[in-house]
Structure 1
Amino acid sequence: MKKIHISHLVFILFLFSSHESLAQIPQVPGELQFADLIVRINPQARREIQLDVDAQYRNPTFFKVKQDRVNLYMPIIEDELRKAGAPLDLKYLAIQESSLIGDAVSTSNAVGFWQFKQGTAEEVFLRVDNQIDERKNIVSSTKGAALYLQKHNNTFDNWMCALVSYQMGLGGAKAYFGTEYNGKQVIDVDRNTHWYFKKFLAHKIAFGSQTTSLVSNGQYMVEERVQGPTTLAVLAKKYGVTVKHLEEYNLWTRNGKIPGDRVYTVIYVKDGSLPIQQAVIVEQKPQTQQIPSTTTAAASRTYKQADSFPRIAGNTTKASQADQITVNNLEGVQAAQSTNQSAFSDRVGLSENKLRRLNDLDKNERIEAGKYYYTEKKNGSAEVSTHIVRPGETLWSISQKYGIKLSSLKSKNRIRQDRDLKAGMVLNLQEHRKRGDDIPIVKLADPAPVRQTTANPTPTRPSNQPATTTAPPSRPASTTNITHTVATGETLFAISKKYGVTVNQLKAWNNIGSQNIISIGQKLVIFRP
């Protein structure tokens, strides 16, 4: 039997170990999503970005330490970005900027998790003085970073430009990009693309890959909102931790004292089973994807919460006038009557092109009475994480319901046409669906057959909405439908009494939100036994 020299065996084991290690390193794809953008990366740029990805994995010990910090801090960062309505992808910028080291200081004297200089920190309302430095507070600094990036994105309407402006400043980014990328939804990355964006993509790929385990193992971060004056010593007794522990995770208070000028967030680490609400995997699938196909969607919270959208606030008695209401916290207006885009844009004080752009309208689409339209830019994500598709809905109607850009909705779900939309689909409204993941479908209640005696009401989006014979929610088992035109002074309650139905039925049949708003001239469909 031939003997194998020990050095050869060691070399073979080394090669096997190296190969196994390299196999775990995520590879840069040719295309990915960032915020509401589709990013296409050419081969040369892929090789360049891959070098940065590989560098993150080169020292396993260092990578594990960084990964442990991600485990603890990322749920908090994601939560603050979500509250601010900012893309969750921005979370990787904090890793890039500071490796999530709270007291990190750059050569240019930028400090903290998001590396703010003092002047910039004060612009986003962070307190920085000899007592408090909120740049080192993960909650406050994330709020500040979201505000800063959103402000710059309002200038560019492009998250790549906004992200690069984080490094260059707004003036520098405007000089660098001009208006080339304003409103652009597809970004081609090549050797000329700004290095800062390519470095960001490397961090997103390195820490967003499924090959990276990002679930905390027995430890999780706890947030406590504190109104001072108090001290870390007092709070340590209250939370059952040491003063040293609180000092380690709350470097933002320089002397252990918390003043009473505002509410601050104190964080500390607890051991034990991770609570469900904090068991977050970076870029994980939304929980609704785990709904078995046999689940009845109508019984789920996700299905019911859609009835509270769009959320209308302000002077709702003048909803059809400009500058009176907000729709999902955005400036909006309700159409009092069906009309063309030109007449409606004149009425609300916008150019026709801007109205069309803000509401993702095709050129010849009519404005529909009773529907809400936005007069400022929609968001890249919605307030809630998912939506279960109902019969008759279109991608456009869903985007309007939640105030999310149509392009973002399509990008997050890798779906482009209404013909691909199916009732019961669970669409993502915040996170991007991973490549290769099927859109889950949940079971809707079986609709009852309908005998229609009049024409259907005008659909939300005539040019794209697929024909359907599926009954609206809460429709009686055997029905005919009529159309009622809202007259001056009428309310949902009065109309319900007139036809012998309930207010909730009227709202369900006509997709009316929780504010119970109807307008003169609005067409309501009513189903009667």
Structure 2
Amino acid sequence: MKKLNHIKFTLFIFSFFSVSITSWGQVPQVPREMRFADLTLKLNEQVRREIQLDVDALHKNPTYFKVKLERVNLYMPIVEKELQASGVPTDLKYLAIQESSLIPDAVSTSNAVGFWQFKKGTAEEVFLRVDNHIDERKNIVSSTQGAARYLAKNNSQFNNWMCGLIAYQMGLGGAKSYFGTQYNGKKVIELDRNTHWYFKKFLAHKVAFENQIGKLVSNTGYLEEIQVQGPTTLKAIATNLGVQEAHLKEYNKWTSNGNIPDDRPYSVVWLRSGSAPARPLTNTTVQNNPPSTYQSASINQNTSAAYPKVTGNTQMATQPDQIKVNNIPAIQASQNTSQEDLADDAGIRKGKLRRVNDLSRNDEIEAGGYYYTKAKNNSAEAETHIVQAGETLWSISQKYGIKLSSLKAKNRIREDNRLIPGMVLNLQEHRKRGEEIPILPRNQQSPKPSPGANQPVQTQNQPSPAPNSSNQSTEATMTSAGQSLSHTVAPGENLFRISQKYGVKVDDIKKWNRLSNDNIRVGQKLTINKP
């Protein structure tokens, strides 16, 4: 018996050390050279050892590390998206892990609060609301937007993201005194034992988590963000989403009493079941591109408003064989109608109309919309398109006269929920396997259009779209059904916002309109049955 126990003990010790050795072998090692934002960092042996000690400490407890990694995986897609939209390198995302471990109501000894650990005064400087009712430091979307503003402001003083990051801890005045101008505009930096401790700790978090994000992910779902305009409550939103109020309170600790005011839209997040959409791609790709690549995308955006290109007898656009759109024979719908009626007007079969316009059987024809009567092309005349809020893959394919399947294939993107405003889509060349889709900073996404740029290019006078076209009709109108309403989807709307507007459930809207998923497009007509 004693011999058996001795054998068991020996096996236990062997297993314990085997697991420990395996875990230790998985700890990432600090390299001699690193990339951070647009900087190249060269590390000597002493600073590598210092940073490695911090990396080892982060990995020391596998259970604790896994718990933290699960939280990182949950919030990081939103953090990346907001940094991208603000033009801040997504490498800065590791700062949120360093500051709070992405715990929404974390409080430091100096009374800094939230995901990015803002003190009240600093939070208000970056336009976050902090009072007895709302504390946006605990809102993952708002606080990340605030952090991006603060980091971008710091970087503008140095043109160096290392200095800008350290200024996050020291304050801008302290960082200026500490650094002077020695690093201004410098892109290759040698790090040694005298490198600021805050930056060394940051690099430890980057090394520790950089290749771990996406691993050990539970199948519990993903965080989805919805924009809510109050006044309303988490309880009312929970009812529409079909979740418990406690669920929303867990992920939205920024509203102390569950009430959402009406001073501005607020971002509410909730844990949605299923597989998450592909994570937003880093904007480092855009920033590191040669200037010509970046500028060509910006130039294309200035011209994209000129599409669709409409030529021919535009005064008779609603008649067959009168106009071409993007040099493809087409017809303009004079009114909201059925596919069959428009096909009759165009003199083609309904099946062909559906096929050449990538329509499904239940898609309605919208007044003022252009519909092709012959097949669209495999490529567009324009090289790229900058995605705007509210656009869908279908609306982009129609705008340029490119087949929907070709647009999807060229960009390796299949679902509308993968689209992000500022995303640069290819319209001619296929994107290489594994190639990231660049996303322009927010200030590069919406240049002021030239007068009339919202209208198609015309060669003759063209009548204005019908008053109830998708560009103009965003209000619900009563129908003969009494309590049945027809709602035209406006840019930026989703099923949740529409359900909130009418006080109905998302699932009911899907049932009334026979929707198999949550994807809707601008201009689409939805039936709403008021209770």
Shorter-chain TM-score range: 0.5 to 0.7
Tell whether the 8 Å contact from 2:40 to 2:187 is kept in structure 1 after alignment: yes
Q: Give the aligned partner of residue 200 of structure 2.
A: 198
Q: Give the aligned partner of residue 137 of structure 1.
A: 139
Q: Give the aligned partner of residue 274 of structure 1.
A: 275
Q: Give the aligned partner of residue 232 of structure 1.
A: 234
**Partners of 1:223 and 1:197 in 2: CA distance:** 31
Q: Give the aligned partner of residue 350 of structure 1.
A: none
- The equivalences for 1:244-393 within 5 A come to 244-271=246-273, 273-275=274-276, 277=277, 279-280=278-279, 309=299, 311-312=301-302, 383-384=422-423
Q: Give the aligned partner of residue 183 of structure 2.
A: 181
Q: Give the aligned partner of residue 154 of structure 1.
A: 156
Report the alpha carbon displacement of residue 65 of structure 1 after superposing the two structures with TM: 1.4
- Measured against aligned partners, the alpha-carbon deviations of 1:493-519 in whole angstroms (never above 9, x if no partner) come to 99xxxxxxxxxxxxxxxxxxxxxxxxx
**Partners of 2:51 and 2:106 in 1: CA distance:** 24
Residue from 8, 11, 29 that aligns with 1:9: 11
Tell whether the 8 Å contact from 2:111 to 2:119 is kept in structure 1 after alignment: yes
- Measured against aligned partners, the alpha-carbon deviations of 1:8-45 in whole angstroms (never above 9, x if no partner) come to 43332222111111111111111111111111111111
SS at match of 1:244: helix
- Measured against aligned partners, the alpha-carbon deviations of 1:443-501 in whole angstroms (never above 9, x if no partner) come to xxxxxxxxxxxxxxxxxxxxxxxxxxxxxxxxxxxxxxxxxxxxxxxxx999xxxxxxx
Taking structure 1 as the reference length, what is the TM-score of the superposition?
A: 0.54
Q: Give the aligned partner of residue 27 of structure 1.
A: 29
**Partners of 2:144 and 2:103 in 1: CA distance:** 13
**Partners of 1:66 and 1:388 in 2: CA distance:** 40
Name the aligned partner's letter for residue 87 of structure 1.
Answer: P
Tell whether the 8 Å contact from 2:105 to 2:114 is kept in structure 1 after alignment: yes
**Partners of 1:99 and 1:143 in 2: CA distance:** 18
- Measured against aligned partners, the alpha-carbon deviations of 1:256-287 in whole angstroms (never above 9, x if no partner) come to 1100000000111122x214x3x33997999x
Report the alpha carbon displacement of residue 166 of structure 1 after superposing the two structures with TM: 0.4
- Measured against aligned partners, the alpha-carbon deviations of 1:412-460 in whole angstroms (never above 9, x if no partner) come to xxxxxxxxxxx979865769xxxxxxxxxxxxxxxxxxxxxxxxxxxxx
Tell whether the 8 Å contact from 2:97 to 2:205 is kept in structure 1 after alignment: yes
Matched, 1:94 2:96: yes
CA 1:171–1:9 in 2, change beyond 3 Å: closer, same or farther? Answer: same
SS at match of 1:11: helix
Name the aligned partner's letter for residue 59 of structure 2.
Answer: Y
CA 1:429–1:163 in 2, change beyond 3 Å: closer, same or farther? Answer: farther
**Partners of 1:389 and 1:202 in 2: CA distance:** 42
SS at match of 1:101: coil
CA 1:191–1:282 in 2, change beyond 3 Å: closer, same or farther? Answer: farther
- Measured against aligned partners, the alpha-carbon deviations of 1:96-143 in whole angstroms (never above 9, x if no partner) come to 000001010111110000000011000000001111100010000000
SS at match of 1:309: helix
Q: Give the aligned partner of residue 311 of structure 2.
A: none
**Partners of 1:172 and 1:312 in 2: CA distance:** 41
Name the aligned partner's letter for residue 197 of structure 1.
Answer: F
Report the alpha carbon displacement of residue 95 of structure 1 after superposing the two structures with TM: 0.6
Tell whether the 8 Å contact from 2:128 to 2:137 is kept in structure 1 after alignment: yes
Q: Give the aligned partner of residue 164 of structure 1.
A: 166
- Measured against aligned partners, the alpha-carbon deviations of 1:59-100 in whole angstroms (never above 9, x if no partner) come to 222112111111110111111111111100111100100000
Residue from 19, 39, 42 that aligns with 1:40: 42
**Partners of 1:172 and 1:285 in 2: CA distance:** 28
Q: Give the aligned partner of residue 208 of structure 1.
A: 210
Name the aligned partner's letter for residue 227 of structure 1.
Answer: Q
Name the aligned partner's letter for residue 186 of structure 1.
Answer: V
Tell whether the 8 Å contact from 1:388 to 1:424 is kept in structure 2 after alignment: no
**Partners of 2:85 and 2:260 in 1: CA distance:** 24
**Partners of 2:36 and 2:424 in 1: CA distance:** 17
Q: Give the aligned partner of residue 69 of structure 1.
A: 71
**Partners of 2:433 and 2:225 in 1: CA distance:** 35
SS at match of 1:151: helix
Report the alpha carbon displacement of residue 7 of structure 1 after superposing the two structures with TM: 3.9
**Partners of 2:153 and 2:283 in 1: CA distance:** 27
CA 1:194–1:258 in 2, change beyond 3 Å: closer, same or farther? Answer: same
Report the alpha carbon displacement of residue 212 of structure 1 after superposing the two structures with TM: 6.5
Q: Give the aligned partner of residue 494 of structure 2.
A: none
**Partners of 2:268 and 2:259 in 1: CA distance:** 11
Name the aligned partner's letter for residue 95 of structure 1.
Answer: I
CA 1:33–1:310 in 2, change beyond 3 Å: closer, same or farther? Answer: farther
Q: Give the aligned partner of residue 221 of structure 2.
A: 219
Tell whether the 8 Å contact from 1:25 to 1:211 is kept in structure 2 after alignment: no
Tell whether the 8 Å contact from 1:228 to 1:259 is kept in structure 2 after alignment: yes
Name the aligned partner's letter for residue 77 of structure 1.
Answer: V
**Partners of 1:217 and 1:70 in 2: CA distance:** 14
Name the aligned partner's letter for residue 269 of structure 1.
Answer: L
Q: Give the aligned partner of residue 57 of structure 1.
A: 59
Q: Give the aligned partner of residue 489 of structure 2.
A: none
Name the aligned partner's letter for residue 106 of structure 1.
Answer: S
CA 1:219–1:197 in 2, change beyond 3 Å: closer, same or farther? Answer: same
**Partners of 1:385 and 1:52 in 2: CA distance:** 38
**Partners of 2:188 and 2:229 in 1: CA distance:** 45
**Partners of 2:10 and 2:428 in 1: CA distance:** 60
Name the aligned partner's letter for residue 197 of structure 2.
Answer: W
**Partners of 1:124 and 1:132 in 2: CA distance:** 15
CA 1:388–1:158 in 2, change beyond 3 Å: closer, same or farther? Answer: farther
CA 1:138–1:155 in 2, change beyond 3 Å: closer, same or farther? Answer: same
- The equivalences for 1:377-416 within 5 A come to 383-384=422-423
SS at match of 1:111: coil
RMSD over aligned Cα atoms: 3.5
- Measured against aligned partners, the alpha-carbon deviations of 1:213-259 in whole angstroms (never above 9, x if no partner) come to 16452410011100000011111101111111111111111111100
**Partners of 1:386 and 1:52 in 2: CA distance:** 40
**Partners of 1:14 and 1:80 in 2: CA distance:** 43
Unmatched segments (≥5 aa) in structure 2: 286-292, 304-385, 387-420, 440-456, 460-531
Q: Give the aligned partner of residue 418 of structure 2.
A: none
